[in-house]
Chains A and B, each alone.
Chain A
């Protein structure tokens, strides 16, 4: 006798295959630009080939070819990244493997594997972006994957698309309250997402730790948000909206950087006066070890891990700004910095590289010979910028050698870094200590949320000179050339033709501008309340409800979830009960049921009265006469003839008189 082989699992219907392919394409699409070109191409080719195979019934790839492809893709990822783990390499590997899985996708079990792989792949998007639209995209696609999971669990026939989607949406909607509860109450881990690979967080544009001509001008093209600020009360006027960032002291003839760390680590010396502005700043991740502050921050009330160094720059004691962070500061517009300049600092802020920019150096030295005092030299330099035909432009000619000379004496066309750099060189040549400060200038008010947005396009560079008795003074040579840059922002200081689209005055009002403001406001809220919901905010929230610490919270969480489940279970039970008005006849019958239940004869829910009584009689023949009469009365009243007061009384009396003793005759 031959045993028939186990019948193979049926093939997936083409409709389900196509749904899977569509969802897979949706899940993989955002990853494609992050993949090396060959991998992206492979993914697209696999998707297209599998779609055609599903439509035309082509055979799938033979096993050996699949093995070869898999090994090849593995090697390819390793060759491209030098690793198969970590954020980008890991995601690339799993993306390519998911696409290759298509080559053997044939049966329901493959679909199950794919569904869970899809859920995982979907989560990996959070490693790259946590913005609002990402969350919306994830929720939408999660619904589609869930619909696919429902398809996978519905063998035999293909569910209509709408049915699956409706069921999936309802499932997810029901999960939403639990999701919200877990979000609020699940213990938050301090620091970045636990186990996030070391290379997480994409490279971002922003101010760097050095400055060369053309680098700040490049930032103007970016409308990326640098930070958002909410002022408590008074808002500084435009001319004081200098957001201080990296300070540069060392100059190599072309590039500025911060120079010796030892000197920068000296204690700062600042006297603050004038109006104090209190504000909360939400900084986008910069992957740099400094924070931005309105010129000039007070030392009291700084974030715990930040301090002000000798350059009066707000820096982190350790680490970098790897995630969005929010901090509160107070700044003062009036200040006096370093009344006494330490010798080491003085030496460094006067240093010029020998034999670079000779013409500028000569001009500075000549000013020193004729000038009465330092302030006069500063005035001379500013007059030079004002009176000579200098032009403020995003696209100045680039000089490879002696860029300061080329800018000051030849092209006279430059962006703020040219002005700041050459001004500092002139000052140093004239024997006045000078340094370059970079940061942002200005900001745009969001009327919807009443906060200020500072974008990368607001990046700016200015100078500080040290004058005896007055300390470091902020001098912005750009203001001498293009005062509207300070008063009205970058958009009004440049020629329209040079402006990136988003800065064009024509686009800065009307519906689209308004929409953009609303969208930014929404994003700021999202950042603050969803992404920014960390351990501190959670503890604060819990304390408001009188909960102290994780233990209390876990207790409450357990209680809440178990009572929610109990409530839900009760609701289900309650709903499944059939509700009928209980009339007197039924009430009397229930009394009989109870009496009979006492001797162990219970009427089944689905058992009709006649069948029940027959069953009772066959178990207890001694009750037959009484029960036959009761049944007849009950059937008449309830089913055969309708209510009748006299019969009803008879039934009630008979039931009242009915006794069923556990011990019976035979």
Chain B
């Protein structure tokens, strides 16, 4: 048996690869995240292509895109929208905020006050917005890409651990490889290429694929492996506490998406290994100086595949 990749997904991956050069693995993870109906946190320096990635994803999937620059004076209403009195009708009308888009890029999310952060994070979790006593559903698919600058400390409000949990994955893109960086410089502007990028899918097809992800098989042997990994995080000496059951579910969903992206209808241990660091890294609470990604890699290297 050889894998049967979903053609649209292969095409989407190929299209994205023309925009973000030499970053196949983060692209695959980002795609898996979207397929698994999860939100994505990108932690990286400015200028490595976070916004471009978000734009490219929206474009390739034919989704509506909004960008939100988080600042310390941003208010919840600036994100969620507000009711405005209209003289013509003599009543209030709700003006939906930028969150009512299929893809939302929340730039530098840790610059906004906790109140504003939690407004967005609640919307992410509930996939709906309640304002003035009325609950309004957010579009489906709804995909938030938040970015965070790891070095900037002054004037930021760090996201609490419970809120970090709302993101399915955390990625960092990193500097491009030498060849890719050269191509960036000599070839036309990425934004221009982006504009020319034809959509490969649409919202309806994406929803179908998301449903398909949930049908990807997870064999008992695979669940054993997942449990062993989760258990290992709970016993690791460098960790204050291990992964929650919710994190275990997230791991499963991400691995299913990754398997589907690879064209498989079942998850194999390698799928779980591929997504483990991205899903578990930001949920692990490490003692001061340890690097969560390193700890995650160490756990992967220690836990036997059953």
Contact with B along A602-636 (1 / 0, CB 8 A): 00011111110000000000000000000011011
Cross-chain contact B1 with A611 (CB below 8 angstroms):
no
Query: Smallest CB-CB separation from A612: which chain B residue?
Result: B305
Pair A608/B306 contact, Cβ less than 8 Å: no
For chain A residues 301-343, which have a beta carbon within 8 Å of chain B?
A: none
Residues of B within 8 A of A157 (CB): 287-288
Task: Contacts A578-B228, A638-B221 given; indicate if A606 touches B266 (C-beta within 8 A).
Answer: no
A157 and B302 CA atoms in complex are apart in Å by 26
The answer on a CB contact under 8 Å between B219 and A639 is yes
| A642 pairs with B219, CB closer than 8 A | yes
Q: A610: which B residues are within 8 A, CB to CB?
A: 268-270
Assess whether A580 is interfacial by the CB under 8 Å rule. Answer: yes
CB-CB < 8 A to A370: which residues of B?
Answer: none
**What's the Cα separation between A453 and B100 when bound, in Å?**
90
Q: How does the 8 Å CB contact mask read for B248-289 relative to A, with 1 for contact and 0 for none?
A: 000000000000000011111110010000000000000111
Residue among B2, B217, B268, B300 with the most chain A CB within 10 A? B268
- Chain A residue numbers with a CB within 8 Å of B305 are 605-609
Contact of B265 among A607, A638, A640 (CB under 8 A): A640
Alpha-carbon distance between A586 and B301 when the two chains are bound, in angstroms: 21
Q: A157-B288, A608-B269, A609-B268 are in contact. Are A580 and B306 (CB under 8 A)?
A: yes
Produce 1/0 per residue, B206-246, CB < 8 A to A: 00000000000101011010001000000000000000000
Chain B nearest Cβ from A447, distance in angstroms: 53
Q: In the complex, are the beta carbons of A611 and B287 less than 8 A apart?
A: no
Closest chain-B Cβ to A155's Cβ sits at a distance in Å of 9
Point out the residues of chain A lying under 8 angstroms from B289, CB to CB.
156
Could you tell me the distance between the alpha carbons of A639 and B270 in the complex, rounded to whole angstroms? Answer: 11
Let me know if B300 and A640 touch, CB within 8 A: no
Instruction: Name, among B221, B228, B264, B267, the residue most crowded by chain A CB atoms within 10 Å (CB to CB).
Output: B221
Asked if B269 and A578 sit within 8 Å, CB to CB, the answer is no
**CB-CB nearest in chain A for B2:** A632
Assess whether B266 is in contact with A635, with CB atoms less than 8 Å apart. Answer: yes
A641 in the interface, Cβ–Cβ < 8 Å? yes
* Given A608-B273, A641-B217, A642-B219: A635 in contact with B306 (beta carbons within 8 A): no
Cα–Cα distance between A288 and B260 once the two chains are bound (Å): 92
Q: A606 and B217 in contact (CB under 8 A), knowing A611-B270, A635-B1, A641-B266? A: no
Per-position 1/0 for A132-149, Cβ under 8 A of B: 000000000000000000
The number of residues on chain A lying at the interface, defined by a beta carbon within 8 Å of a beta carbon of chain B, is: 21
Within 8 A of A (CB), among B1-40: 1-2
Bound form: Cα–Cα A485–B201 in Å? 111
Chain B nearest CB from A110 CB (Å) reads: 21
Shortest C-beta distance, B102 to chain A (Å), equals 32
Does B48 make an interface contact (CB < 8 A)?
no
Q: A609: which B residues are within 8 A, CB to CB?
A: 268-270, 305
In the complex the two chains form, is B270's CB within 8 Å of A608's CB?
yes
**Are A605 and B270 touching (Cβ within 8 A)?**
no
By the criterion CB–CB under 8 Å, are B270 and A578 in contact? no
CA distance A610 to B303 in the complex (A): 17
Question: How many residues on chain B are close to A (CB under 8 Å)?
Answer: 26
A580 to B222: give the CA distance in the assembly, Å.
Answer: 11
The distance from the CB of A624 to the nearest CB of chain B, in whole angstroms, is: 13
Contact A606–B300 (Cβ < 8 Å): yes
CB distance from A660 to the nearest CB of B (A): 21
Is the Cβ of A640 less than 8 Å from the Cβ of B219? yes
Contact A640 B304, beta carbon cutoff 8 Å: no
Closest chain A residue to B228, Cβ basis: A578
The answer to whether A606 and B287 touch across the interface, beta carbons within 8 angstroms, is: no
- Complex contact A606–B265 (CB within 8 A): no
Interface string of B137-164 (1 = CB under 8 A from A): 0000000000000000000000000000
State whether A578 touches B221 (Cβ < 8 A).
no
Whether A632 contacts B1 by the Cβ 8 Å rule is: yes
Partner of B306, one of A578, A611, A632, A633: A578
Q: Are A639's CB and B266's CB within 8 A? A: yes
Contact B219 A156 (CB under 8 A): no
Report the minimal beta-carbon distance from B285 to chain A, rounded to whole angstroms: 11
Contact, CB under 8 Å: A156 / B217: no
Q: Give chain B nearest CB distance to A618 CB in angstroms.
A: 15
Bound together, the chains give a CA A611 to CA B269 distance in angstroms of 9
The 8 A CB mask of A441-476 against B (1 = contact, 0 = none) is 000000000000000000000000000000000000
CA distance A578 to B303 in the complex (A): 9
What is the chain A residue whose CB lies nearest that of B289? A156
Give every chain B residue within 8 A of A605 (Cβ-Cβ).
304-305
Residue of A609, A638, A640 most packed against chain B (CB within 10 A): A640
Residue of B nearest to A581 (CB): B220
**A608 CA to B269 CA, complexed, in Å:** 5
The answer to whether A640 and B217 have CB atoms under 8 Å apart is: yes
Whole-angstrom distance between the alpha carbons of A610 and B273 in the complex? 12
A606 touches B267 (CB 8 A): no
In the complex, which residues of chain A have a beta carbon less than 8 angstroms from the beta carbon of B300?
A: 606
Give complex CA distance A635, B306 in Å.
Answer: 13
A578 partner residues in chain B, CB cutoff 8 A: 224, 228, 304, 306
Q: How far is the CB of A654 from chain B (nearest CB, A)?
A: 13
Chain A residues within 8 Å of B302, by CB: 606
Closest to A614 in B: B270
Question: Is the beta-carbon distance between B304 and A606 smaller than 8 angstroms?
Answer: yes
Out of A156, A586, A639, A642, name the residue touching B267 (CB < 8 Å).
A639
Cβ contacts under 8 Å, A635 to chain B: 1, 266, 268
Contacts of B217 in A (CB 8 A): 639-642
Least distance between B41 CB and chain A CB atoms (Å): 25
A640 to B3, CA, bound (A): 11
Compute how far the CA of A635 lies from the CA of B268 in the bound complex, rounded to whole angstroms: 7
The contact of B1 among A156, A580, A636, by CB within 8 Å, is A636
A610-B302 Cα distance, complex, nearest whole Å: 18
Q: Shortest distance in angstroms between A615's beta carbon and chain B's nearest beta carbon?
A: 12
**Chain B minimum-CB-distance residue to A634:** B268
- Most chain A Cβ neighbours within 10 Å, of B228, B269, B301: B269
How far does the alpha carbon of A578 sit from the alpha carbon of B217 in the complex, in Å? 23
A639 x B222 contact (CB < 8 A): yes
Q: Complex: how many Å from CA A607 to CA B219?
A: 17
Interchain nearest-CB distance for B219 vs A (Å): 4
CA distance A636 to B300 in the complex (A): 23
- Docked CA distance A297–B267 (Å): 90
Chain B residues in 8 Å Cβ range of A608: 268-270, 273, 305
| Cα distance A89–B306 in the bound complex, in angstroms | 64
**A605 CA to B269 CA, complexed, in Å:** 12
Q: Within 8 Å CB of A638, what residues of B?
A: 219, 221
A639 touches B303 (CB 8 A): no
CB distance from A556 to the nearest CB of B (A): 37
What residues of B have a CB within 8 angstroms of the CB of A636 in the complex? 1, 266
A153 to chain B, nearest CB (A): 11
* Residue in B2, B288, B301 whose CB lies within 8 Å of A606: B301
Shortest CB-to-CB span from A280 to chain B, Å, is 55
Chain B residues, Cβ within 8 Å of A640: 1, 217, 219, 264-266, 268
Q: In the bound complex, how far is the Cα of B273 from the Cα of A101, in angstroms?
A: 52
B residues near A580, Cβ cutoff 8 Å: 221, 224, 306
By a CB distance below 8 angstroms, the chain B residues around A632 are 1-2
Chain A residue at minimal CB-CB distance from B216: A640
CA distance A633 to B304 in the complex (A): 21
Specify which chain A residues have a CB less than 8 angstroms from the CB of B269 in the assembled complex. Answer: 608-610, 639
Chain A residues with CB below 8 A from B266, complex form = 635-636, 639-641
A residues near B2, Cβ cutoff 8 Å: 632
- Report B303 CB to chain A, min CB distance, Å: 6
13 intermolecular pairs with C-beta atoms under 8 Å apart: A578-B228, A578-B306, A580-B221, A606-B301, A608-B268, A608-B270, A608-B273, A609-B268, A639-B219, A640-B219, A640-B264, A640-B265, A642-B219
With A580-B221, A640-B268 given, can you name 10 additional A-B contacts, CB distance below 8 Å? Answer: A578-B224, A606-B303, A608-B269, A608-B305, A610-B268, A639-B219, A639-B221, A639-B267, A640-B266, A641-B217
Task: Please give me the 7 A-B residue pairs with the lowest Cβ-Cβ distance, nearest first.
Answer: A640-B266, A605-B304, A608-B269, A608-B270, A632-B1, A639-B219, A156-B288
